[in-house]
Homo-oligomer: A and B are copies of this chain.
Amino acid sequence: MMKNNSHPASKGEFKSKNLVAERKRRIRLKERIYALRVLVPKITKMSKATTLDDAVDYIKELQNQAMKLQDELLMLPYEAGDCEGSVASTEEEKPLLNCKEEVCVTLIDANELHIKITSKETTNGFFILIDLLSNLGFEIVDINWFVFKGVTTGMICVEGVDAAVKAEDLRKLLPETIKAIRMISVD
């Protein structure tokens, strides 16, 4: 290659002022094309247009692949995809369960109890509460519990004989915490 080097002005005079700027621009564009060529694995032809074509196809392919992989991960029992904003811990000293926790106990029937929790504390109270439920002889049927932006939300469904009296025991054991013990009438 020996392309034009001496054509427009054999002695160095040029009319345009943006000549060098345009040269820079061309170089910049060319280099971006090269960068794409390096990145894209399938290059069908060493030409600008086809390089861009390949880049377009490759991006589409990558997008599809990413979608597919993400779907596969979502099929798993659970996955790490949305664990991004990972819970900045907010480590303070934890009081016992008489803090700002709000616990609502609902007596479903003679053997079943629903416990709803909302709290600004994190998880220390969880262990205490679970320990209490264990000592009271309950069995865990259903738990949904998560901490988001420092706010804990939990629902626990437990089963055990004499749930009504055990609910009152809970009220005694968590006097500052239990906001309400409700009854739900069942036949």
Contact = CB atoms under 8 A, between A and B. Distances in A.
Nearest to A63: B62
Given A49-B32, A53-B32, A83 B108 contact: yes
Contact of A73 (B56, B73, B122): B73
Chain A interface size, as a band, is 35 or more
Nearest to A127: B134
Nearest to A58: B59
Nearest to A184: B80
Given A60-B39, A83-B112, A147 B155 contact: no
Contacts of A154: 143
Interface of A: 25, 28-29, 32-33, 35-36, 39-40, 48-49, 52-53, 55-56, 58-60, 62-63, 65-66, 69-70, 72-73, 76-80, 83, 86-87, 89, 108, 111-112, 114, 116, 122-124, 126-127, 130-131, 134, 139-147, 154-155, 157, 159, 184
6 contacts: A28-B49, A29-B48, A36-B55, A83-B112, A127-B134, A140-B145
